[in-house]
Amino acid sequence: MSAPRVQLVANLKEYFKDALHAVLANQHVAVEGETEHYVVNLLTLFVRSEALFEPTAAGRRMKPLAILLAEALAAGSRDERNRSLQRLGDVSLFISGFLARGFARRLVDVDYHIAMGGSAYGTLARTLPPRGGRALAQVFAELAEKFQPMVDALNELSEAGYAHSQQDVLRLYELWFKTGSRRSYALLKRLGIEPLGRAEATLRSLH
């Protein structure tokens, strides 16, 4: 097998801007420019591990989403609460988009991250103060509404040039079944697999 190709990138933000725009178009996901800009900044930030992981007694770790939610609920001020909710949404989106394959071996799957992230963004959209927060509230509202399609777009971005194994095919079916991912469905079809309707698959699993 040939060695994987390494693409040199001079400007990471410009790379993510062009790449995200391309995959959104390919996935037929239309978002406002401000929303696309927000996600580009998020990707540029989280590509550095120090921004994604936080210091703990056991070393640098990623906080569980439940802890981020608990911190938001226990926040002493509205600003602190909003920061925790934003962190919850941002981490959920990045992890769901770039590390979805790794969930197959964990107790918590990608559908949990999608639900938590979408809910966090939705709460932010409803509760940000009108003065000074309206533009950002619109971004969070769109991310909440289109969280799953955005995850599909980030999946495509992260898997560029990736060849799917038989184990990956099973994982694609699982992702489609749990989340309704259009991208997973399209990949299964491209690999020659005709997924059952989700309702039909559920009925068959009960027999």
Cβ pair 46, 52 in contact under 8 A: yes
User: pLDDT at residue 41 above 60?
Assistant: yes
Cβ pair 101, 148 in contact under 8 A: no
Least confident among 42-51, 88-97, 179-188: 179-188
Average pLDDT estimate for 43-62: 81
Domain locations in the chain as residue ranges: 12-54+61-162, 163-207
Q: Would you state the structure tokens that stand for residue 205, as one six-digit string? A: 């699993």
Q: Of the candidates 90, 89, 76, which has an alpha carbon nearest to the alpha carbon of residue 44?
A: 90
Q: Of the candidates 198, 196, 161, 195, which has an alpha carbon nearest to the alpha carbon of residue 178?
A: 198
Predicted local confidence at residue 100, as pLDDT: 64
Q: Of the candidates 165, 204, 170, which has an alpha carbon nearest to the alpha carbon of residue 184?
A: 170
Q: Is the pTM of this model over 0.75?
A: no
Predicted local confidence at residue 193, as pLDDT: 65
pLDDT digits (tens, 9 = 90+) for 102-161: 554 554 567 888 999 999 999 999 998 877 678 899 999 999 999 999 998 998 887 764
User: pLDDT at residue 50 above 90?
Assistant: no
CA distance 110 to 101: 9
Cβ pair 90, 46 in contact under 8 A: yes
Rounded to 5 degrees, what angle do the CA atoms 7, 13, 16 make? 60
pLDDT digits (tens, 9 = 90+) for 159-171: 764 444 555 666 6
CA distance 150 to 69: 21
CA distance 39 to 143: 9
Predicted local confidence at residue 25, as pLDDT: 93
Predicted local confidence at residue 74, as pLDDT: 95
User: pLDDT at residue 200 above 50?
Assistant: no
Predicted local confidence at residue 132, as pLDDT: 67
Least confident among 52-61, 143-152, 194-203: 194-203
- Give the amino acid at 92: S
Phi and psi, residue 60, nearest 5°: -75, 125
Residue 63 pLDDT level (bands cut at 50, 70, 90): confident
Average pLDDT estimate for 4-10: 48
pLDDT digits (tens, 9 = 90+) for 68-115: 999 999 999 999 999 999 999 999 999 888 876 655 455 456 788 899
